[in-house]
Chain A
Amino acid sequence: MDLATILHMQPEVMLSFIIIILLLGDLIIRQPNHRILQFMAFGLLVVHIAANLTISDEVLFGGMYHSTPMASVVKTILTVGTLLVILQAGPWIRREDTRHKAGEFYLLTFSTLLGMYFMVSAGSFLMFYVGLELASIPMACLVAFDKYKHHSAEAGAKFIMSAMFSSGLMLYGLSLIYGTVGTMYFADIENALTGTPLQIMAMVFFFAGLGFKLSLVPFHMWTPDTYQGAPTPISAYLSVISKGAAAFALMNILLRVFGPMVEDWSLLLSVVIVVTITVANLFAILQSDLKRFMAYSSISQAGYIMLAVLAGDEQGMASLVYYIVVYIVANLAVFGVITNVEQHTGGLVDREAYNGLYKTNPRLTLVMTLALFSLAGIPPFAGFFSKFFVFASAFHQGYYLVVFLALVNTIISLYYYLLIVKAMYITPNDSPVPTFKSGPLSTVCLTVCVAGIVVLGLCSGVYELLQHVAGL
């Protein structure tokens, strides 16, 4: 092994350097000037994305690190999503009480991103676990970022404790696997797995660990409390980026490692999907706090994403990544609007605050409407196609009942997404949120999101590209 080998993991190395640069920058720039840091973080990330647009297949360190072509695409997607979150977080991080910590925000965010990089390109459970922890622990700090606020601190505590619990269980599961097959490398495990009861148990434990990150029912209980308490941009980050990475990692490992146990995990997934979507819908229907509502919405969306995992083939992989992309733009648009309204009203996140928003802020309302339509899967927005593709891929594999139940649930979801639309357009309000102008950065972010919502569905190129990559 020489130094050149390490350079093959270019994205990870580069991101590590960016983190170090930001750390040094944060230390050197004496008067914490959030603007300089912001532009540094932003610029470096853009350079990073541009430098890593290649699609490569790398196996390093004797199989410890395995970055598939799809993994490199997913990394780019996650980074672009992170970029959007940073844009969106602009007004929040510039506030009096947080601006002195701006450097930390970027540092922590990028660290979790690095963790996700390792998660999606791991070739061994050791590497995977390190990545998972790297993605979780800084995340807890982010959740508790507004630490003097009661909600945020409580959310952070709940998150870190749940995370510890779940990684403990997962680690236990991994040890069981090591105990039965004597290796931690994915390629070797696959050949040695036979599906003994102990291995089934290990698989469930492992699944629960990722189920926690994806907030699948019944591992989801932390989600609403955390989303509600965390600063809104962090909730956005949690709901899309963290979830996207976990979903891809789960599919990757279920296919590549637990391939021989496909019958077990497909049954497991079928049950979990139906329960997740249904329970999340039941809870979501009665929420009036939008952040809490979005937590439940993201739980049910995770259930839909799992349909693609259930399909378990190339088409499923392509539709999973496509779903993640579409979900990122739509969800970030919703959170972007929530952040904006929150910042300009002194913290209002209740649905009632949105009554009559159309009259005062028509453009923001339009963004929100399109995003909600996309989340609900109304054609011709991207969300319709992403749902269609995951349903189709699961349907092709013969999971008719699961697909049917998921379809029934989309109708319920339509109801609660449209409740917000109704509040904004129809419900009368004597004193709606006054007209305000959102900052340039968040305008850019929302514009990109809306463009994504409209374009991703209509032009077939994206999905075809993903299909092509999935087939490599």
Chain B
Amino acid sequence: MEYTILILALPVLSFLLLALAGMKMSHRLAGTIGTLVLGVVAVLSYLTAYQYFSAPRTADGTYATLIPYHITWLPFTETLHIDMGILLDPISVMMLVVISTVSLMVHLYSFGYMKGERGFQRYYAYLSLFTFSMLGLVVATNIFQMYVFWELVGVSSYLLIGFYYTKPEAISASKKAFIVTRFADLGFLIGILIYGYYMGTFTFTPDQQMLMQGGMMLPWALGLMFVGGAGKSAMFPLHIWLPDAMEGPTPVSALIHAATMVVAGVYQVARMFPLYMGYAPETIHIVAYVGAFTAFYAAAVACAQSDIKRVLAFSTISQIGFMMVALGVCTSAHPHEGGLGYMASMFHLFTHAMFKALLFLGAGCIIHAVHSNEMSTMGGLRKYMPITHWTFLIACLAISGIPPFSGFFSKDEILTACFAFSPVIGWVMTVIAGMTSFYMFRLYYCIFWGKENKELHAAHTPHESPLTMTLPLMILAAITCVAGFIPFGHFVSSNGTSYDIHLDWSVAGTSIVVALIAIALATWMYLREEQPVADALQRTFPKLHRAAYKRFYMDELWLFVTKKIIFRCVSTPLAWFDRHVIDQFLNFLAWATNALGEEVQPLQNGRIQTYTLWFLGGIVVLTLMLLLV
């Protein structure tokens, strides 16, 4: 399967082409190049997936791990070397499919959404760069390659969030995203270094001897790596960058901040899963608790937001929390004995990528139609935008876990895994799932039903988007409808063997009932033009509503810690020291060097006699030095 190198090579070539020559191209040409390349990449990814999963399983019932391309890049010792390569195993192949599909949809969609924007070519160049980086991340053959692409993903995310670089909010959002994730990545890097130092390797699969050497440091290494993963995947309290990242163009939010990059943390934990199971089973439960709290926190905040992209952002955070929980509740690598969560997490990653991309792209259509992100400008849009309405509804049902949409199946597996671990976690997650249904339908009703903003709509009648934008919606909606029936456990499971997904009706039934109750509640509160219940609640608990609206003041807390404590107590004195002591010392050195230079100039007087004298003098001095010392 040597052609897999093309999956990486094509996007990077398209990036170089568009970045170097893009400004000379027309918008249409640049977009076509980017989209066509992605089309080829998607086809290649599907081909890879087909070939990979149709190949016979090995003797122990797993799919063989393939490395079709591999170079040793920087060797340090026999075992410790940084490699670059392509690794194909069930989860990386699954990710290839997810990334190329969503990316292709977004490329296509952007044709309409970004039409006429300044820097259209640059936008496509960045998209190619992002796709390349993300694909490189998932096929990494070792933890260091993963880190390299991890940072590349961060850079492309930074570039795309700040795409509207004349908008101050976009600039500060891009900086915030970059700094917060970079800060978290420091943990990742330290984790990698500990891993490399104690194990003497960067591979994902160290051998017995390496594990003997460094096994006891693994919990630390993995825990620190998870900090990086938590930053990228917006886990509490490092989630603060993701809602702001919505300042980027909406298709970018769909691609990067909903479907692909933000699940990199989940992917990372899944990638290290065998090591967690073997050597740090306690550490992985930390992942579960962080994930559960994040899921709850984000769901609570999402209920009070008024900007549709922010609601979706918090719902993304909450859903990633679900995936983390699913991984974290695993107690063994056996899918029947506590390893179910692995499969559930990956399954949810897959289905979530599709329906969340759909939600964001739908939101993009709505924003395109009303030119605002605020829910107050919407309402009653179902008449104007039928395709968007129906596809959005499908996605809402999927995320709420209503059968037969894809989210039901994956979420049900997660809940089953949680109940198997501990009933408390199970019930908590069920409640959060209920909250998910509530806020999603609140969003749905506020956009498509409810009170129409007549004044605004009279001035500018909302309209359905062009086909380039609705086609991706329909494709993704179709995937969302059928993805749940994919026998996912056959492809991906915690130990690689085939696993039959079966519904545990006691869990599934409960979650459906909870979801339906939540949807009914949302219908009752938000369907009609007047919303007395919601307003009354807001009046009764003004503080709570305000706190939720302000995301429980997490941003303020971070600002307090950084600005008031770190900047004032640490940075300011250090800056003073730097300016007055270090700089002055260096200035003195520079001055002294210059002065000395002036002094010695006359020695070079152009007379050969002098030169010879120095020559001879030098010999004498050097000889004497050697003889006497």
Contact check: which of A221, A264, A272 meets B610 at CB < 8 Å? Answer: A221
For chain B, residues 586 to 602, give those with C-beta under 8 angstroms from any C-beta of chain A.
590, 593-594, 596-598, 600-601
Contact A200 B626 (CB under 8 A): yes
- Bound form: Cα–Cα A169–B619 in Å: 10
B618 → chain A, closest Cβ, in Å? 3
- Bound form: Cα–Cα A166–B611 in Å: 11
B394 → chain A, closest Cβ, in Å? 49
Interface assignment of A204: CB less than 8 Å from any CB of chain B = yes
A207 → chain B, closest Cβ, in Å? 8
Contact A412 B593 (CB under 8 A): yes
Contact B597 A200 (CB under 8 A): no
Interface string of B578-617 (1 = CB under 8 A from A): 0000000000001001101110110010101011101101
Interface assignment of A267: CB less than 8 Å from any CB of chain B = yes
A236 → chain B, closest Cβ, in Å? 21
Q: Please name all residues of chain B whose beta carbon is closer than 8 Å to the beta carbon of A415 when the two chains form the complex.
A: 590
For chain B, residues 542 to 598, give those with C-beta under 8 angstroms from any C-beta of chain A.
590, 593-594, 596-598
Contact A285 B597 (CB under 8 A): yes
Using A169-B619, A208-B619, A286-B594 as known contacts, list a sample of 9 further A-B pairs with CB atoms less than 8 Å apart, ordered by residue number in A: A162-B608, A197-B627, A201-B627, A264-B626, A282-B600, A283-B597, A285-B594, A412-B593, A415-B590
Residue of B at shortest CB range from A279?
B600
Interface residues of A (CB under 8 A from B): 157-158, 161-162, 165-166, 169, 197, 200-201, 204-205, 207-208, 212, 217-219, 221-222, 224-225, 264, 267-268, 271-272, 279, 281-283, 285-286, 412, 415
Residue of B at shortest CB range from A200?
B626
- Bound form: Cα–Cα A222–B611 in Å: 7
Contact A283 B601 (CB under 8 A): yes
Residue of B at shortest CB range from A166?
B615
Contact B615 A165 (CB under 8 A): yes
Contact A271 B622 (CB under 8 A): yes
Contact B626 A268 (CB under 8 A): yes
Q: Please name all residues of chain A whose beta carbon is closer than 8 Å to the beta carbon of B626 when the two chains form the complex.
A: 200, 204, 264, 267-268
A-B CB contact pairs (8 Å), 15 listed: A165-B615, A166-B615, A200-B623, A204-B623, A208-B615, A208-B622, A217-B618, A218-B614, A218-B618, A219-B618, A222-B611, A225-B606, A264-B626, A271-B625, A286-B598
Q: Please name all residues of chain B whose beta carbon is closer than 8 Å to the beta carbon of A272 when the two chains form the complex.
A: 622
Sorted nearest first, the 4 A-B pairs with minimum C-beta distance are A218-B618, A221-B611, A282-B597, A204-B623
- Bound form: Cα–Cα A218–B625 in Å: 15
A69 → chain B, closest Cβ, in Å? 23
- Bound form: Cα–Cα A440–B441 in Å: 71
Contact check: which of B597, B600, B608, B623 meets A158 at CB < 8 Å? Answer: B608
Label chain B's interface by main secondary structure. helix
- Bound form: Cα–Cα A75–B606 in Å: 34
Contact A221 B594 (CB under 8 A): no
Residue of A at shortest CB range from B611?
A221
Contact B615 A218 (CB under 8 A): yes
- Bound form: Cα–Cα A161–B590 in Å: 36
Residue of B at shortest CB range from A282?
B597
Q: Please name all residues of chain B whose beta carbon is closer than 8 Å to the beta carbon of A200 when the two chains form the complex.
A: 623, 626-627
Q: Please name all residues of chain B whose beta carbon is closer than 8 Å to the beta carbon of A282 when the two chains form the complex.
A: 593, 596-597, 600
Contact B593 A281 (CB under 8 A): yes
Q: Please name all residues of chain B whose beta carbon is closer than 8 Å to the beta carbon of A225 when the two chains form the complex.
A: 606
Contact B617 A218 (CB under 8 A): yes
Q: Please name all residues of chain B whose beta carbon is closer than 8 Å to the beta carbon of A157 when the two chains form the complex.
A: 608
Given A200-B627, A208-B619, A221-B615, verify A283-B600 contact (CB < 8 Å): yes
Interface assignment of B629: CB less than 8 Å from any CB of chain A = yes
- Bound form: Cα–Cα A201–B623 in Å: 6
- Bound form: Cα–Cα A219–B618 in Å: 8
Interface residues of B (CB under 8 A from A): 590, 593-594, 596-598, 600-601, 604, 606, 608, 610-612, 614-615, 617-619, 622-623, 625-627, 629
Contact B629 A267 (CB under 8 A): yes
A215 → chain B, closest Cβ, in Å? 11
Residue of A at shortest CB range from B606?
A225
Contact B593 A285 (CB under 8 A): yes
- Bound form: Cα–Cα A279–B598 in Å: 12
- Bound form: Cα–Cα A197–B610 in Å: 28
Residue of B at shortest CB range from A212?
B615
Residue of B at shortest CB range from A216?
B618
Contact A283 B604 (CB under 8 A): yes
- Bound form: Cα–Cα A328–B601 in Å: 28
B601 → chain A, closest Cβ, in Å? 6
B447 → chain A, closest Cβ, in Å? 50
- Bound form: Cα–Cα A207–B622 in Å: 10
Contact A161 B619 (CB under 8 A): no
- Bound form: Cα–Cα A337–B610 in Å: 33
A143 → chain B, closest Cβ, in Å? 14
Q: Please name all residues of chain B whose beta carbon is closer than 8 Å to the beta carbon of A286 when the two chains form the complex.
A: 594, 597-598, 601
Q: Please name all residues of chain A whose beta carbon is closer than 8 Å to the beta carbon of B622 when the two chains form the complex.
A: 204, 207-208, 268, 271-272
- Bound form: Cα–Cα A385–B610 in Å: 38
- Bound form: Cα–Cα A162–B611 in Å: 8
Q: Please name all residues of chain A whose beta carbon is closer than 8 Å to the beta carbon of B608 when the two chains form the complex.
A: 157-158, 161-162, 222
Q: Please name all residues of chain A whose beta carbon is closer than 8 Å to the beta carbon of B614 when the two chains form the complex.
A: 218, 221
Residue of B at shortest CB range from A165?
B612
Residue of B at shortest CB range from A158?
B608
Which of A205, A207, A217, A282 has the largest number of chain B CB atoms within 10 A?
Answer: A282
Q: Please name all residues of chain B whose beta carbon is closer than 8 Å to the beta carbon of A281 when the two chains form the complex.
A: 593
- Bound form: Cα–Cα A446–B618 in Å: 38
Residue of B at shortest CB range from A157?
B608
Q: Please name all residues of chain A whose beta carbon is closer than 8 Å to the beta carbon of B604 when the two chains form the complex.
A: 221, 224, 283
A173 → chain B, closest Cβ, in Å? 9
- Bound form: Cα–Cα A158–B609 in Å: 10
Residue of B at shortest CB range from A204?
B623
B136 → chain A, closest Cβ, in Å? 18
Residue of A at shortest CB range from B605?
A221
- Bound form: Cα–Cα A162–B623 in Å: 20
Q: Please name all residues of chain B whose beta carbon is closer than 8 Å to the beta carbon of A217 when the two chains form the complex.
A: 618
Q: Please name all residues of chain B whose beta carbon is closer than 8 Å to the beta carbon of A169 when the two chains form the complex.
A: 615, 619
A110 → chain B, closest Cβ, in Å? 28
Q: Please name all residues of chain A whose beta carbon is closer than 8 Å to the beta carbon of B593 when the two chains form the complex.
A: 281-282, 285, 412
